Amino acid sequence: MKNIQWKKTAQKGLRYYEHETRRHGKKRDRYYSIRFKVAGRDYTYGVGWLSDGIPEAVRKAEPGLGFEDYCLKLLRQYKGNVKTGTGPKSPKQKRAIAEAREAAEREARAQAEADNVTFGYYFENVYYPTFQVGRKISATRKAKEHFKNWLEPVIGQIPLKDVKPFALEKVKKNLLDAGRAPRTLQYVMATFRQIWNMARRDGLITGDTPTRSIKKPKVDNRRVRFLSHKEADLLLSALQGKDTTAYNMALLSLHTGLRMGEIVNLKWCHIDTERGIIRVMNPKGGVGRAAFMTERVKAMFEGLTQGEPEGLIFTSATGKPLKEMPRIFFEVVADLKFNEGITDARQKVVAHTLRHTFASWHVTAGTDIYTLKELLGHSVIAMTERYSHLAPATLQNATKTLERAIESAEQEKGKEQSGQVVNFLK
């Protein structure tokens, strides 16, 4: 505004100037300011426009307080604070204190809300919607089952921060009492752990997952079933007559040991039929590797119509990416009665059985474990050693070799002893 002209009021230390055009009621709007002196120093602070009125909190506390009285109240407050050295000494300081108080209150409310977020609410509204993105339908269905069947009944209504190991012990008891396998318990606890870790990243909780305190039964889920050469031929022949894609994927896994996840992600740029090499990118173990083609696999690739370098080799009938072995595979397995009468999951033929068969055939043929580890893309040798029990004849032969070595050593020792000359004369 131009040419501000301050006007005194009847109250000492309170003045105002009028707005050039804006009106408040019948009069021009007024801007009020307070002035006072302490220890020879002048203090001047603007209060505000009359049209802005008194702050709501003050108005509610003192309903009959007029605007000028409010200004005088501030004057007395600030002057007293300057004299005593306490409290806000200006409107700016008062606003800063009020803002800090409001921020603290907001933080306290947010913390209270976070403290009251239940396990069930977090799963349904945060974890599960996020988990579903890009996951297989089977994986999301399992996570939902773990929550609905085992976790929700025990801890669904408990705030996340209050979930303790004893509650998970109850989940464990319920699951095992229902006759579920120890492996299922491991899966359920893994689901809980993933939920906990996400909530911790979101700042709702701190500390390690309570599952660390839960003792889990040991699980031997090593698949002991692998296909004989006759069974493999029957399976491939049946698939070849029904679904070319399923046949090619099965042949590839059986002859190279590739995982299903690696097969469905193969692109044409990964295939080198001249050298008989498949480049496996982003495998489960984290380190890329080369897989080697048999002549039958090479012929299979050469018989396909090659697409763009970045194009997927195996897709659905509509051209969409596959996430797993086509369902026709399982229908053929059922038709061949490979799983008829079998209740032990380790004995059932599944898509992974093809990779398992690849490994077992190698062991039976005499391939050493360290070579097999590289072919399978295992990160540690312990993962490969699980296949050694699939070929007991190979282990028996190793034992026989050791036995022959021991017998040979004992025979040599006997010869040495029989050839010694003992002198009884001294």
pLDDT digits (tens, 9 = 90+) for 120-170: 999 999 999 999 887 878 889 999 999 999 999 999 999 999 999 999 999
Average pLDDT value over all residues in the chain:
86
Residue 337 burial (10 A CB sphere; 0-12, 13-18, 19+): exposed
State residue 85's pLDDT score: 78
Torsion region of 117: left, alpha or beta (phi above 0 gives left; psi -120 to 50 gives alpha): beta
Q: Could you tell me the pLDDT band of residue 249, with boundaries at 50, 70 and 90?
A: very high
Distance in angstroms (rounded) separating the CA atoms of residues 367 and 377: 15
What is the mean predicted confidence (pLDDT) over 342-356? 88
Assess whether the region 119-213 and the region 229-390 belong to the same CATH fold: no
State residue 368's pLDDT score: 84
- Quick count: other Cβ atoms within 10 Å of Cβ 151? 25
Q: Domain 229-390 is classified in which CATH homologous superfamily?
A: Intergrase catalytic core (1.10.443.10)
Judged against a pLDDT cut of 60, whether residue 395 lies above it is answered with no
pLDDT, tens digit, for every residue of 31-53?
A: 999 999 988 888 898 999 999 99
More confident residue, 38 or 16: 16
Q: What are the structural domain ranges in the chain?
A: 7-110, 119-213, 229-390
Q: Could you tell me the pLDDT band of residue 223, with boundaries at 50, 70 and 90?
A: low
State residue 3's pLDDT score: 76
In the structure encoding, which two tokens stand for residue 369, read together? 């474990």
Name, in order, each residue with C-beta under 8 angstroms of 354's C-beta and a sequence gap of 6 or more. Answer: 227, 250, 253, 254
Distance in angstroms (rounded) separating the CA atoms of residues 187 and 173: 15
More confident residue, 91 or 337: 337
Strands laid side by side in the 14-24 sheet: 7-8, 14-24, 27-38, 41-49
The model scores a pTM over 0.85: no
pLDDT, tens digit, for every residue of 317-333?
A: 899 999 899 999 999 99
Element (H, E) at 280: strand 277-280
State residue 424's pLDDT score: 45
Judged against a pLDDT cut of 50, whether residue 335 lies above it is answered with yes
User: DSSP of 170-213, one letter per residue?
Assistant: HHHHHHHHTT--HHHHHHHHHHHHHHHHHHHHTTS--S--GGGG
Q: Which CATH number fits domain 119-213: 1.10.1660.10, 1.10.150.130, 3.40.50.10490, 1.10.1060.10?
A: 1.10.150.130
Q: Could you tell me the pLDDT band of residue 116, with boundaries at 50, 70 and 90?
A: confident
Q: Could you tell me the pLDDT band of residue 307, with boundaries at 50, 70 and 90?
A: very high
Q: Could you tell me the pLDDT band of residue 416, with boundaries at 50, 70 and 90?
A: low
What is the mean predicted confidence (pLDDT) over 277-299? 86
